[in-house]
Structure 1
């Protein structure tokens, strides 16, 4: 956590966001557009992600080539976070 509060990280994060034109790179690869303006209620819509994880490649932590901009949903999907099973429909037929 200390790393993500450092000035070096905050400055590099801004450079990556600017380089990626404030667009989610995963959405872009899939032919979608997700920018910083999609969800006005959220305080943070885009993350800067380490392509090669920081805990396995600490030497690449501040390498711009190892960073990409992702929207929060794509970042969570990459790390397999916050996925819940779809709620089953209790009613399978209509009797009206």
Structure 2
């Protein structure tokens, strides 16, 4: 008996022969469906690339593996939720310059974990951040602290003041107020 599956067309309950995805009535959608699948695979959504990323970048050392595993613990989930509630889901970096970006769901370490591993679970070292600010801050951290893959950590003063970090991220001076976040 040939192998069959249900037609992918919404509301159609006809069966089609494998490897087809649409019945003879809706066969015109087959090319479009296969094209979207190929496009999705070409974007890097495959197991081989994910495995390479996890083994080469994410888990490149025992310290990075431990750091990554921390983000999968209940302790992190609890801390993250407390910080989101404390900051009302508002990006603290945008707030410094007078913008209110609601529904930010990323919680970021003010001083990166690579620089100060002892503060990874310190609530005072965490702040809500929006996606654009997170990208800018990550780039700034790579330049200032030397964090990231292929970089070497620099011996610089850790900065825990969000206002000062925002000034430095935006090209300002580094002698802003020394107000501590928490």
TM > 0.5: yes
Residue 81 of structure 2: aligned partner:
14
Matched, 1:23 2:90: yes
Residue 13 of structure 1, CA deviation: 0.2
TM-score (norm 2): 0.39
Matched, 1:46 2:105: yes
Structure 2 stretches of 5 or more lacking a match?
Answer: 1-67, 141-182
Residue 136 of structure 2: aligned partner:
77
- Tell me, in whole angstroms, the C-alpha distance in 2 between the residues paired with 1:5 and 1:72: 20
Q: How many residues align?
A: 73
RMSD (CA atoms): 1.3
Q: Higher helix share goes to which structure?
A: 2
- Tell me, in whole angstroms, the C-alpha distance in 2 between the residues paired with 1:78 and 1:46: 16
SS at match of 2:71: helix
Of structures 1 and 2, the larger Rg is shown by 2
